[in-house]
């Protein structure tokens, strides 16, 4: 019997317990022996849970128990998740995390600590919920070089944008419904303002390049100002408006990462991702483009991803996998203003003046009517300077 | 330096050599040391290739060389691929295959031989080209239970169906173009008649269930008789006509696998898979639905998939992964006639008689005009008996 501890008994933590029970046979076969929960760390008591007798309120008993070889961190937030995870690894325990915030902020420290102490730190559940997206970077894609990652990584905003489009309803109206249904939180800022998506693209950037961008170096656009008119404009331009997280690794090792509402053309599979689903595409020279699609959140899928890491560690497979080192590298981030895209642009003033100003920067400026244009590639700064105050949306082909 | 041999120096075999060269640094990092080609087995000579001096025409020198710990089989066909692979494993060498035919026909023997001799037999490249689709069954999904696999696994037929739809051209015309462009072979039967897709769904069935269906137990439908009218009917029914490979694992361990042209409704992401792309969706109780999308063929992507297996074996990761055993199990296959679907049906005779006959079998019969109907769920046999001679296409929602 292998013994694990779970830090945080919320949506993900309780899902881990449920999947451990529900799929006990599959897990035992994959690991080679049974896996049991020895401790659950939480501030609350759970007198009605079958695990109630295993609840502790401090990390010390877990650190001190040599029978616990692995700890699942499902607390969320940076602190004390960081300190607890580091302490577990110092005590010789591997850590599996579903916590995108701590991985995005401190992934470099955490992976270094794992290496120093000969344990594993894995985080499949931190991006894309149940979609098995992160392990391939250590395994299937380990002999390739991922140069671009583009995806829809936040289900809440995608749900809102899809509803606005399909039902012609306003942002506030759909947001209220999403909150009622539990798809959006009471304070929805982290989703709406691209903060959740930014953490995920930071992690994906680090997986692709080894460089862990600083939070302040990655632009995060919001969907709060998206109107029905923008959604209709996207449709008229042969696409769909989506909150896109994207990172490109340049040949000289710099990274251009961002989160922004973009118009995704219908030829791109991301245009057809609806509702709370996530989809992430990876580009690499050998494999070409591949895309993963699935539920990016939810108790069971996320817990399943945690348990796939647990299995990899307890079976011994993770030890032989090529887990990268993350490093912060000041000066490696290309700011959003200097990133290049084709654009959808809509001006409220003179269309002919706007066309002229845009043509000074790019070869292609196609009028779409009503003061709107589709342009060739230029930087965000060039577009903003050419048509100040205009609606400016990157286009993804 | 790790030494490997390549059996077959065609499209895939030469791709393996190219990727080994092109991504030497990444491969060395993932494996822990450099990987070099020691032998290439082929009937031909390659005097102009840098590997020309390593070409052999018999398997014996490879079997006899203890320095070769791994062999990549990229010969295609069942024989002598089977015999060579078995002999390599008997000689203590792991085998990586890109050959769907030999895996579909003899995967049970090959995996048993690997287990007996303490080596690995992996075949990531046999389905979905470069899409990292098979390893997740041994890793990320090892603690889950895949109950359904549905996909577009043949790029040639998808290219033809997409072109027919987008350009309104007839089957023969598009086939001739596909042959000219190298997307279809001179003898295109294996693609058009679903034989290639059948081999792939046999492999996916075995990965999901452990049961390797017999070739004769899996129905393979052809796209040769698909007309523009069928394609237009699919559009009118709110979907797209696609050659779908599908397998469902029942709770009592039986398998319902088939390959057939189906109408995929637009709400299903498979409806938007265009051209030579492949897409495969997996359903499991914990993870929910996930979908993989990418190039299902091509020299480099397929070679990349072979090398991901090579890396897994040479790094030691594969040894700890949960590779299943495949077994043939007579009587476990549910024949196509007994499989259930909602249907698109079009009769040439009396529509009202057809409606009546269908309503005797299923609750839902929606007339679409022109003698066409969308029905509720029934078996293939029930549909065929109710409206003999009609066009009968399963619907995928």
Q: Is B305 on the interface with A (CB under 8 A)?
A: yes
Direct distance between the N- and C-terminal alpha carbons of chain A, in angstroms, rounded to an integer: 51
Q: pLDDT tens digits, residue range B239-251?
A: 999 999 999 999 9
Q: pLDDT tens digits, residue range A24-47?
A: 999 999 999 999 999 999 999 999
Which single residue is written with the structure tokens 């523009």? B228
Q: Is B298 on the interface with A (CB under 8 A)?
A: yes
- Residues near B236 by beta carbon (within 8 Å), at least 6 away in sequence: B368, B372
Predicted confidence at residue B323, as pLDDT, reads 79
Shortest distance, CA A115 to any CA of chain B (angstroms): 16
Q: What is the DSSP letter of B40?
A: E
- Which residue of A lies nearest to B138 if distances are taken between CA atoms? A30
Predicted confidence at residue B140, as pLDDT, reads 85
Predicted confidence at residue A127, as pLDDT, reads 97
Q: Which of A23, A273, A321 sits opposite B143 (nearest CB)?
A: A23
Q: Is A348 on the interface with B (CB under 8 A)?
A: no
Contact B130 A287 (CB under 8 A): yes
Contact B140 A27 (CB under 8 A): no
Q: Which of B144, B267, B293 sits opposite A293 (nearest CB)?
A: B293
Predicted confidence at residue B183, as pLDDT, reads 86
Q: How many CA atoms lie within 13 A of B190 on its CB side?
A: 13
Q: Is A269 on the interface with B (CB under 8 A)?
A: yes
Nearest to B256, CA basis, from B109, B101, B379: B379
B115 vs B332: CA distance, rounded Å: 24
Q: pLDDT tens digits, residue range A71-127?
A: 999 999 999 999 999 999 999 999 999 999 999 999 999 999 999 999 999 999 999
Supply B186's token pair: 């001179």
Question: Of the residues A100, A165, A198, A200, which is catalytic?
Answer: A200
Dihedral (Cα; A201, A203, A207, A211), 10-degree rounding: 90
Predicted confidence at residue A168, as pLDDT, reads 94
Q: Is A393 on the interface with B (CB under 8 A)?
A: no
Predicted confidence at residue A239, as pLDDT, reads 96
- The DSSP element (H or E) to which B63 belongs, if any, is helix B60-64
A256 vs A335: CA distance, rounded Å: 7
Shortest distance, CA A133 to any CA of chain B (angstroms): 9
Rounded to 5 degrees, what are φ and ψ at B138?
-90, -15
Residues 227-266 of B with CB under 8 A from A: none
> At A263, is the secondary structure helix, strand, or coil?
strand
pLDDT at B3 over 80: yes
Nearest to B343, CA basis, from B253, B249, B239: B239
| Segment A182-188 long-range contacts (CB within 8 Å, at least 24 positions apart) | A183/A155, A183/A156, A183/A159, A183/A276, A184/A156, A184/A159, A184/A160, A185/A156, A188/A156
Cα angle A199-A267-A161, degrees, rounded to a multiple of 5: 50
> At B345, is the secondary structure helix, strand, or coil?
strand
> At A174, is the secondary structure helix, strand, or coil?
helix
> At A268, is the secondary structure helix, strand, or coil?
coil
- Which residue of B lies nearest to A301 if distances are taken between CA atoms? B287
Q: State how far the alpha carbon of A60 is from the alpha carbons of A41, A65, A84, A116, in Å.
A: 10, 9, 10, 21
pLDDT at B351 over 80: yes
Cβ contacts of B320 on chain A, cutoff 8 Å: 315-317, 319-320
Give the model's confidence band at B319: pLDDT under 50 very low, under 70 low, under 90 confident, else very high. confident
Supply B26's token pair: 């990444």
Shortest distance, CA A8 to any CA of chain B (angstroms): 20
How many residue pairs from chains A and B have C-beta atoms closer than 8 A?
Answer: 189
Q: Is A143 on the interface with B (CB under 8 A)?
A: yes
- Is B200 assigned a catalytic role? yes
Shortest distance, CA A313 to any CA of chain B (angstroms): 10
pLDDT in tens, chain A (397 residues): 999 999 999 999 999 999 999 999 999 999 999 999 999 999 999 999 999 999 999 999 999 999 999 999 999 999 999 999 999 999 999 999 999 999 999 999 999 999 999 999 999 999 999 899 999 998 888 889 999 999 999 999 999 999 999 999 999 999 999 999 888 999 999 999 999 999 999 999 999 999 999 999 999 999 999 999 999 999 999 999 999 999 999 999 999 999 999 999 998 999 999 999 999 999 999 999 999 999 888 899 999 999 999 999 999 988 888 777 899 999 999 999 999 999 999 999 999 999 999 999 999 999 998 899 999 999 999 999 999 999 999 999 9
Predicted confidence at residue B143, as pLDDT, reads 87
Q: Which of B23, B293, B300 sits opposite A290 (nearest CB)?
A: B293
Which single residue is written with the structure tokens 């390549």? B6
Q: What is the mean pLDDT of residues B293-298?
A: 90
What is the percent of chain B where pLDDT is above 70?
Answer: 100
Contact B321 A304 (CB under 8 A): no
The reply to whether omega before A80 is within 30° of 0 (cis) is yes
Q: Which of B287, B295, B306 to mutate to test the interface with A (most CBs of A within 10 A)?
A: B287
Shortest distance, CA A384 to any CA of chain B (angstroms): 34
Q: Is B25 on the interface with A (CB under 8 A)?
A: no
Contact A19 B286 (CB under 8 A): yes
Q: State how far the alpha carbon of A335 is from the alpha carbons of A105, A263, A338, B69, B219, in Å.
A: 18, 20, 5, 48, 55
Given a contact cutoff of 8 angstroms between Cβ atoms, the answer to whether B29 and B97 are in contact is no
For chain B, the average pLDDT equals 95
Contact A142 B26 (CB under 8 A): yes
Q: Is B28 on the interface with A (CB under 8 A)?
A: no
- Residues near B177 by beta carbon (within 8 Å), at least 6 away in sequence: B163
Given a contact cutoff of 8 angstroms between Cβ atoms, the answer to whether A203 and A126 are in contact is yes
Cβ contacts of A166 on chain B, cutoff 8 Å: none
Rounded to 5 degrees, what are φ and ψ at A282?
-120, 140
Q: How many CA atoms lie within 13 A of A350 on its CB side?
A: 6
Q: Which of A320, A325, A397 to mutate to test the interface with B (most CBs of B within 10 A)?
A: A320
DSSP notation for A95-153: EEE--HHHHHHHHHHHHHHHHHTT--EE-GGGSSTTS--SHHHHTTTTTS---EEEEE-
- pTM of the shown model: 0.95
Give the model's confidence band at B99: pLDDT under 50 very low, under 70 low, under 90 confident, else very high. very high
């Amino acid at each position: 019997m292998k013994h694990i501890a779970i830090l945080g008994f919320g949506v993900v933590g309780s899902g881990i317990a449920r999947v451990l029970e529900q799929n006990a046979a599959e897990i035992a076969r994959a690991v080679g022996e049974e896996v049991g929960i020895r401790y659950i760390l939480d501030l609350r008591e759970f007198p009605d849970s079958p695990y109630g007798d295993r609840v502790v309120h401090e990390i010390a008993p877990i650190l001190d128990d040599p029978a616990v070889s692995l700890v699942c961190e499902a607390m969320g937030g940076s602190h004390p998740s960081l300190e607890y995870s580091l302490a577990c690894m110092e005590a010789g325990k591997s850590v599996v995390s579903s916590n995108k915030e701590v991985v995005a902020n401190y992934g470099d420290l955490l992976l270094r600590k794992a290496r120093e102490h000969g344990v594993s730190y894995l985080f499949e559940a931190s991006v894309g919920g149940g979609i098995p997206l992160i392990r391939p970077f250590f395994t299937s894609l380990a002999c390739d070089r991922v140069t671009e990652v583009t995806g829809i990584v936040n289900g809440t905003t995608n749900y809102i944008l899809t509803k606005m489009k399909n039902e012609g309803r306003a942002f506030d109206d759909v947001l209220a419904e999403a909150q009622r249904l539990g798809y959006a939180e009471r304070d929805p800022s982290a989703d709406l303002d691209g903060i959740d998506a930014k953490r995920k693209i930071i992690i994906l950037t680090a997986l692709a390049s080894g460089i862990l961008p600083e939070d302040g170096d990655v632009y995060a656009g919001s969907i709060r100002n998206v109107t029905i008119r923008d959604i209709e404009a996207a449709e008229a331009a042969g696409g769909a408006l989506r909150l896109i997280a994207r990172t490109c690794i340049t040949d000289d090792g710099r990274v251009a990462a961002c989160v922004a509402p973009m118009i995704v053309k219908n030829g791109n599979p991301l245009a057809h991702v609806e509702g709370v689903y996530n989809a992430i595409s990876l580009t690499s020279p050998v494999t070409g483009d591949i895309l993963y699609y699935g539920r990016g959140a939810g108790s069971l899928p996320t817990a399943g991803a945690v348990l796939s890491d647990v299995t990899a560690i307890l079976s011994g497979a993770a030890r032989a996998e090529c887990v990268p080192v993350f490093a912060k590298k000041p000066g490696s981030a290309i700011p959003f203003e200097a990133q290049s895209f084709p654009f959808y642009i809509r001006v409220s003033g003179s269309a002919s003046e706007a066309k002229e100003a845009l043509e000074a920067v790019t070869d292609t400026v196609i009028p779409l009517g009503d003061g709107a244009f589709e342009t060739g590639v230029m930087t965000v700064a060039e577009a903003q300077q050419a048509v100040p105050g205009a609606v400016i949306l990157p286009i993804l082909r």
